[in-house]
Chains A and B, each alone.
Chain A
Amino acid sequence: MRAQINLGMKRYGKWLIILPPMLYLLVFFLIPFAFALKISLADTAVRVPPFTDIFTVSPDWHAHVALNFGNFKYLFTDEVYGLSYFYSIKTAFFSTLICLALGYPMAYAIARTAKSTQSILLLIIILPFWTSFLLRVYALEGIIRETGLLNSTLLWLGIIHEPLQIMRTTFAVYLGIIYSYLPFMVLPLFATLEKLDHSLLEAAADLGSPPWRAFIDVTLPLSMPGIIAGSMLVFIPAIGEFVIPTLLGGPDNLMIGRVLWDEFFGNRDWPVASAVAIAFLVLLVGPIALYQHNSSKQLEA
Chain B
Amino acid sequence: MSDRVPPLLISILCIGIAILYLPILVLIAYSFNASSLVSVWGGFSTSWYSELMHNDQILDAAWLSLEIGVVVSTVAVILGTLAAIALVRFKVFRGRLLLTGMVNAPLVMPEIITGITQLLLFVSMLHLFGWPHRGFTTIVIAHVAFCTAYVTITVQSRLQTADRSLEEAAMDLGSGPVRAFLDTTLPGIAPALASSWLLSFTLSLDDLVISSFVSGPGASTLPMVIFSKVKLGVSPDVNALASLIICLVAACVLLAGYLMRRSERQRVRDAQLAQH
A109→B113 contact, CB < 8 A: no
| Complex CA distance for A124 and B254, rounded to whole angstroms | 10
- For A247, what are the chain B residues with a Cβ–Cβ distance below 8 Å? 230-231
Main secondary structure of the interface of B (DSSP, over half): helix
Known: A102-B16, A113-B5, A138-B242. A260 touches B112 (CB 8 A): yes
Instruction: Report if B55 contacts A (CB, 8 A).
Output: no
| Complex CA distance for A21 and B155, rounded to whole angstroms | 14
Instruction: Report if A41 contacts B (CB, 8 A).
Output: no
A57-65, A70-78, A280-288 - interface stretch: A280-288
- Nearest CB of chain A from residue B124's CB, rounded to whole Å: 5
- For A134, what are the chain B residues with a Cβ–Cβ distance below 8 Å? 206, 208, 223, 226-227, 230
B23→A20 contact, CB < 8 A: no
Instruction: Report if B199 contacts A (CB, 8 A).
Output: yes
Residue of A nearest to B28 (CB): A139
Q: Mark A114-150, 1 if CB is under 8 A from B, else 0.
A: 1100010101111110111111101111110101110
B56-64, B66-74, B94-102 - interface stretch: B94-102
Query: Contacting A18 at CB < 8 Å: which of B78, B95, B110, B246?
Result: B95
Query: Contacting A237 at CB < 8 Å: which of B21, B30, B99, B111?
Result: B111
B142-150, B161-169, B182-190 - interface stretch: B142-150
| Complex CA distance for A21 and B103, rounded to whole angstroms | 9
Instruction: Report if B129 contacts A (CB, 8 A).
Output: no
B110→A257 contact, CB < 8 A: yes
| Complex CA distance for A148 and B152, rounded to whole angstroms | 41
- For B246, what are the chain A residues with a Cβ–Cβ distance below 8 Å? 131-132, 135
B206→A277 contact, CB < 8 A: no
- B→A interface (CB under 8 Å): 1-3, 5, 8-10, 12-13, 15-17, 19-24, 26-27, 30, 38-39, 78-80, 82-83, 85-86, 90, 93, 95, 98-106, 108-114, 116-121, 123-124, 126-127, 141-142, 144-145, 148-149, 152, 174, 176-178, 199, 202-203, 205-206, 208-209, 213, 223, 226-227, 230-231, 234, 238-239, 242, 245-246, 249-250, 252-254, 257, 261
Give me 9 other A-B pairs in contact (C-beta within 8 A), A18-B99, A281-B113, A295-B104 excluded: A20-B78, A22-B102, A124-B17, A127-B250, A148-B39, A149-B26, A240-B111, A242-B112, A264-B213
